[in-house]
A and B are shown apart, each in its own frame.
Chain A
Amino acid sequence: MNKLKTVNKYALAFILLAVFLIAAALPIFAANPIEANADEMAFCDDLSYLDGTSNGYTTEEIKYATKKETSFFAHPTFPDYYNTNSSISNTCANSAGANVLGYYNRYYSDLIPGNNVGAIRGDMYYYFPMAASTSIKQGVINTLYTLMGTNTPAPGTTQAQFKSGMASYVKGKNKTITYTNVMSNSKFSVDKAKASFDKGEPIILYLSGYNLTDYQDVNSVYKLYKYDFTANHMMVAYGYSKIEYYDSSSKLVKTIEYLHIAACKSETGFVYLLNGYGTMVDAEAAKIS
């Protein structure tokens, strides 16, 4: 009798353990954001400041004798719009859309009527900041918030919602928007990006975890400040830089690659470090015509 009871106890314990393990494993498979299709992910990091998901910055210092820089841009300057309306949240997709519209607004004035978009000085076109005709720029973000269905049914905006909202907006201005994917084997393709930038097309980045990186370059010391975030986020890239650092014997000691970005947050002056923290889920060049 006792022996049989022990056997059944083991059997019961085994079943319970198996069920528990299955239950524990299911959420992991279901929740894995890296494996998920970007169409189903929500991009919603609206934190204007480094939040609890970041442990502050980490630094990296490179001492060098010489450096070689290679850069290319859709345009060397770019809009840097971000949400200033505290009554709406999770607005990075809306801001990303507004930045793309703001960029093309230079060529198509009716995309954002009345917007003080920028001016030429010398041989450079300067895009004006968010502070210039703020209400009009914010109006576009508000409109995209509605058109994209942001925060419906869950916090943030999916890639599909972003595209749907953008298509709807530009259609209302008798324009169309098309996209060219610049990923290759699930990684950002510099070659494809260059082709898009050369055509003057900015690239929308869909990120699961991301970095905002700043740098100092003084007296042959290059120092990176890397802020890491765990949230999903969207931003817009308008240029690429690759810097190769050599020591005094002309030996390559470090290569840094980053994207020039509109961060779609109130922070300015940061770049997105390629091969830095975070996963690039997708990247698409946008063309409005």
Chain B
Amino acid sequence: MDDKEFDKLMNSYVAGPAKGKQSDLQKFRASQPMQKRTRQMPKLAWAAVAVVLVVAVSLAIVLPITLTDKAPDEGMRFLDEKDFNRQDIDFSEIQSTYVGTYLLPTVESFEQTGQLFVSIKNANKVFGVEVSSFVYDENFIDVKYAITDYRYKSYRHFEEAPLSEVWNTYNIKFNRKDVSGFCENQIYFTDGKYHYYLMVNTFEEMPINQVLDLLFDKKTGA
């Protein structure tokens, strides 16, 4: 580029539109009250942030409390998705009330504890009993059994026990475990209406029919 060309270019630049008078930005700035705009928007934003912060802090305090207080069970128990409570009851009362309803073991024992399964959802209906018996005779250490209208979720695997026998008219499913010092027998059967789950600890391994014969008095109809 020679000097002549350069001069021509520079002259045309100088002769162009005046800076700050025709640009869109300048037109926009000239038409708006700048101060007012910049103050209104932050106020709105900070108000929103303050509200959200209050909510956030509240959630941060409340949520951990509700999340960490696990298992607020309040003594509630569940059996087959049916809410129920336990209710302490004398074994003698279980005997007198349910002897014609349930097939109750009659083996002699030193002490028994009894509890009723009481439905919460269904007007406090009793739908089962659990009894723990301290036997400690020549055969048994202790016997625990649950009799319920429903399948007993905690011991449902009893129903899949690998061994089976027929005892009287009942199809018995059972499992034996050799634990140090004793034999643990898990027994399940149903009479078509109620489900029977028995946990019987014996000193030695015994035939399951013998175990049941000793547990139940045949005169009761078993």
A residues near B (Cβ < 8 Å) are 1, 4, 8, 11-12, 15-16, 19-20, 22-23, 26-27, 30-31, 33, 36, 42, 44-53, 56-57, 59, 71, 73, 76-77, 84-86, 88-90, 119, 121, 124, 126, 128-134, 154-156, 214-219, 221, 223, 225, 227, 230-232, 239, 266-269
Q: How far is the CB of B174 from chain A (nearest CB, A)?
A: 10
User: How many residue pairs, one in A and one in B, have C-beta atoms under 8 Å apart?
Assistant: 190
Known: A77-B182, A219-B162. A30 touches B77 (CB 8 A): no
Is the CB–CB distance between A16 and B142 below 8 Å?
no
What chain A residues lie within 8 Å of B59 (beta carbons)? 23, 26-27
Q: Name 14 extra pairs, CB < 8 A, besides A47-B78, A51-B77.
A: A8-B41, A45-B71, A49-B152, A50-B153, A52-B78, A56-B156, A77-B182, A86-B75, A86-B85, A88-B75, A128-B142, A132-B142, A221-B162, A239-B180
Interface residue B104 (Cβ < 8 Å from any Cβ of A): no
Given known pairs A53-B71, A77-B182, A216-B161, the reply for A131 and B111 (CB within 8 Å) is: yes
B contacts with A, residue count (CB < 8 A): 69
Closest 9 CB pairs of A and B: A23-B56, A76-B180, A231-B71, A89-B75, A27-B63, A30-B64, A26-B60, A31-B67, A131-B134
- Please indicate the chain B residues that have their CB under 8 angstroms from the CB of A219 in the complex: 162
A46 touches B73 (CB 8 A): yes
Cβ contacts under 8 Å, A31 to chain B: 63-64, 67-68
Does residue B79 face the partner (Cβ distance < 8 Å to A)?
A: yes
Query: Does the CB pair B141–A126 fall under 8 Å?
Result: yes
Pairwise interchain contact A30-B60, C-beta atoms closer than 8 A: yes
Q: Which residues of B pack against A, CB within 8 Å?
A: 28, 32, 37, 41, 44-45, 48-49, 52-53, 55-57, 59-60, 63-64, 67-79, 81, 85-88, 109-113, 115, 130, 132-134, 136, 141-142, 144, 152-157, 160-163, 175, 177, 179-182, 184, 186, 199, 203
- Contact between A131 and B113, CB atoms less than 8 A apart: yes
Contact call A1/B32, Cβ cutoff below 8 A:
yes
Please determine whether A119 and B153 come into contact, CB atoms closer than 8 angstroms.
Answer: no
Contact A73 B180 (CB under 8 A): yes
Cβ–Cβ contact A77 & B68, under 8 A: no
A223-B88 contact in complex given A33-B70, A50-B153, A155-B71, C-beta closer than 8 Å:
no
10 contacts across the A-B interface (CB closer than 8 A): A23-B56, A44-B71, A48-B154, A52-B78, A76-B179, A128-B134, A132-B136, A133-B111, A218-B163, A225-B157
Contacts of A46 in B (CB 8 A): 71, 73, 75
Is B70 a contact partner of A227 (Cβ separation < 8 A)? Answer: no
Q: Which of A19, A49, A90, A154 contacts B77 (CB 8 A)?
A: A49
Task: Using known A-B contacts A52-B78, A129-B134, determine if residue A27 contacts B49 with beta carbons closer than 8 Å.
Answer: no
> Which chain A positions have C-beta within 8 A of B52?
15-16, 19-20, 23
| Closest beta carbon of chain A to B29's beta carbon, Å | 11
**CA–CA, A207 to B14, complex, Å?**
83
Chain A residues with Cβ under 8 A from B63's Cβ?
26-27, 30-31
- Bound CA span A11–B49, Å: 11
| A215 in contact with B181 (CB, 8 Å) | no
Task: Indicate if the CB atoms of B177 and A86 lie closer than 8 Å.
Answer: no
Given contacts A52-B78, A77-B182, contact A86 B56 (CB under 8 A): no
Contact between chains at A269 and B186 (CB < 8 Å) = yes
Provide the bound-state CA to CA distance between A114 and B160, in Å. Answer: 41
- A80 → chain B closest CB, angstroms: 9
Report the separation of the CA atoms of residues A131 and B76 in the bound assembly, to the nearest whole angstrom. 22
**A27 contacts B156, CB within 8 Å?**
no
Interface centre among A45, A56, A90, A266 (most CB of B within 10 A): A266
Are A267 and B154 closer than 8 Å at their CB atoms? yes
Q: List the A side residues contacting B76 at CB < 8 Å.
A: 47, 51
Q: In the assembled complex, which residues on chain B have CB atoms less than 8 Å from the CB atom of A134?
A: 111, 113
What residues of chain A lie closer than 8 Å to B199, measured between beta carbons?
268-269
The smallest beta-carbon distance between A45 and chain B, in angstroms, is: 5
